[in-house]
Each structure stands twice: as structure tokens, then as C-alpha cells.
Homo-oligomer: A and B are copies of this chain.
Amino acid sequence: MPKRNHFISQLAHVEIYTPHLEETVKFYIDTIGLQESDRKDNSVYLRAWGEFFHHSLKITEGPEKGLGHIGWRAESEEDLLEAVEFIEELGCGEGWIEGDIGHGRAYQFRSPDGHLEEIFWEVELAAIPEEEKSRWRSRPQKHPGGGFSVRRLDHVTLWTSDVQRHREFYQKLGFKHNEAILLDEPVNKEIGGLLAVTSLSHEVALFSLPPNHPNESNMNHICYAVENREEVLDAADFIKEHGYKLDMKPSKHAVGEAFYLYALDPGGNRFEIYAGSPLYFAPDYGPVTWRVSENPNDAWSESNILVGDKKD
């Protein structure tokens, strides 16, 4: 067990592209319960009610759906500089940018497949109007009471051409490899991975794009957490009442044991709502290994979309 890098303290934000900016923003505000922090050029910055930072989702208009970039916050200014030095040694650095609304200068780098990421230390806290501040200080604002509202960004799941290579990339950056999904014997190819830098199940997951998924970008989905499974169930009603379809109705993953649902936002990006995954504190917890035939996506279903069954 080598000493683990602790450059990164958390997943701070994700940028996604959408061909339909206003409809997409409306979906995340009216149906998912995010709040608009700011707008600039063709981007809108959103945050969940339980988040202290300026934003966790940046939605940018573009010709195609997909991942813009992933933003990681460092553990400290000193950790940021050490991380940059380390990333430059890895040879995947893109250089410093001045920052963005909501955070200070950031160092950009790319995953082996070219997913754009950045690390930074300075953050701007959300500006909460006095009357929206909560009497409970572990929440940055009162619960907005907007029907259904996710609490915080949880993770991002990427499509990759080579799971093992990306998994090793994140491990170098200090991520724990908590869970792995393999093709069945005798092939054993690594087709999925869950990696975490905190006590969460994962902040980044990696999957091999299966054949016959022509409509996918470089990102499988982004995921926000809610308090409990009841809220996932309420979200299902709320999304349907707003006229959207569910991409996968509420169920439980075998991997990570989270209770979930998926919807597609109006730009076509997949969005997950999530609760109930256990916390993993042991640095040597994983990798816990699943076979694709064990239906790691759905703990309760007898059909298995990973081996070609119909979804839902």
C-alpha cells in the first residue's frame, strides 16, 4: 500500500454542453431544484441548495451534448502546486488558466482520452441573501422548499476507450479504486471502475462504451445526491409530473448499493439522482470486483441491460 496523494479535496463542479441552453437550464432549475448563481457569455452557472461554493454545474451552449470539463478542488494552495508539478511530470498538463466565475486560477489537464479537467484552490462562496440564510449553519441556505431539490453534486461518469488506463490515471492522482466491473471469464476485461478521493463511493466512474450506443457523448452522466431514498421516489413523481420521461426508473445499483433514477435533460445529457450509498473509509477497501453477468447496474431486476436486455 503506497502512500496516497492527497492533492484533491473534492469534486467541485462539472461543465456540460447542451444544444438547447434555455430548456436545459429550465429543467435543472424548475424540476431538479438547482439555483442560478450567474450567467456569462453562453454559460449559466448553477448550484444546489446544500452547496457552499458558487456553483457546481456550468451549462454551456454548444453544438453537441457532452462533458465540458471537470473541476477538482485542491486540499490547499500548497497541494495545488504539488499537484501541478505532479501532473506536469505525467505529461498531461494543459497549463494554467486565470480561473472562472466562482474560483481562482486553475491548472488544466486531460485524461488519456482527452476529457478536460482542472484543479484549483481559491473558491468563491455562494452569495446567499440574508433572508435565505438558514438557522442551521451546516446548510448554506434554507431548504428552498421547491418541491424537489437535489442537495449536492456527487459524481461524474465518463465513457472511456480503455477503463484500465483511465483507472490507473486517477489512482496516480490519489483516487482509491473502490469497485471494478469485469467481463465474464475467461475474457476478464475491465469495463467499469469507481474511484473516490473522499469517503464517497466515487467522484468519478469509468465505463467502456458498449457497441450500439450511437447517441452517447464522452460522458455517461452526472449525478447529484439527495438526503434519502424517499427523495429519489419523490423525484420520480416530480420529473414525470413536469412532463419528462425517466431514462431508468428508481432502483438500486448492486455496485455501490445506491438507490437511483436517471433522466435525460433537454440537451440529451443523462442525469442521475442518488441516495444511500455507504461511505468507504479504508484506503484498501477496493477494488471490489463484479462480473458483468451479475447485473451490477440493477440489484433487483432479473433483466440485465449490461448483457443486452431491454432497458426498463
Check B4–A76 contact: CB distance below 8 A.
Answer: yes
B139 touches A9 (CB 8 A): no
Q: List 24 A-B contacts (CB under 8 A).
A: A1-B76, A1-B77, A2-B76, A3-B76, A3-B78, A9-B281, A50-B278, A135-B241, A136-B257, A137-B179, A137-B288, A138-B278, A142-B241, A143-B237, A145-B148, A146-B147, A147-B147, A151-B278, A198-B279, A198-B281, A200-B279, A240-B299, A246-B301, A249-B298
User: Counting CB contacts under 8 A, is A233 at the interface?
Assistant: yes
A residues 118-171 in Cβ contact with B at 8 Å: 123, 134-139, 142-148, 151
Is the CB–CB distance between B76 and A283 below 8 Å?
Answer: yes
Residue A111 at the chain B interface, CB threshold 8 Å: no
Interface stretch of the complex, out of A16-24, A62-70, A215-223, A224-232:
A224-232
- Assign chain A's interface to a size class: 35 or more
In the bound complex, residues from chain B placing their C-beta under 8 Å from that of A283 are: 9, 75-76
In the complex, what residues of B have CB within 8 A of residue A145's CB?
146-148, 238
Q: Tell me, in angstroms, the Cα distance from A9 to B198 when the chains sit together.
A: 10
Contact of A301 among B76, B230, B237, B249 (CB under 8 A): B249
Smallest distance from the beta carbon of A52 to chain B beta carbons, Å?
Answer: 7
Contact A310 B303 (CB under 8 A): yes
Query: Which residues on the B side are within 8 Å of A310 (C-beta)?
Result: 303, 310
Complex: A52 Cα to B283 Cα, angstroms: 12
Within 8 Å of chain B (Cβ to Cβ): is A252?
yes
Per-residue CB contact flags for chain A residues 261-285 toward chain B (1 = under 8 Å, else 0) read 0000000000000001111111101
- Beta-carbon contacts of A7-46 to B below 8 Å, as 1s and 0s? 0011000000000000000000000000000000000000
Q: Measured between alpha carbons, how far is A73 from B151 in the docked complex, in Å? A: 30
Complex Cα spacing A229 to B229, Å: 9
Distance between Cα atoms of A246 and B302 in the complex (Å) = 8
A4-B76, A52-B282, A237-B299 given; name 13 further pairs at CB < 8 Å. A9-B281, A9-B282, A137-B289, A138-B278, A145-B146, A145-B148, A198-B199, A198-B279, A199-B200, A228-B228, A240-B299, A250-B300, A303-B310
- Minimal Cβ-Cβ distance residue in B for A247: B302
Closest-CB distance, A60 to chain B (whole angstroms): 24
Please encode chain A, from 92 to 136, with 1 for each CB lying within 8 Å of some chain B CB and 0 for all others: 000000000000000000000000000000010000000000111
Q: Which residues of A contact B (CB under 8 A)?
A: 1-4, 6, 9-10, 50, 52-53, 73, 75-79, 123, 134-139, 142-148, 151, 179, 198-201, 227-230, 233-234, 236-238, 240-241, 245-246, 249-252, 254-257, 259, 276-283, 285, 288-290, 298-303, 310, 312
Set of chain B residues within 8 Å of A250, measured between Cβ atoms: 250-251, 300
Q: Which residues of chain B are within 8 angstroms of A281 by Cβ–Cβ distance? A: 9-10, 73, 198
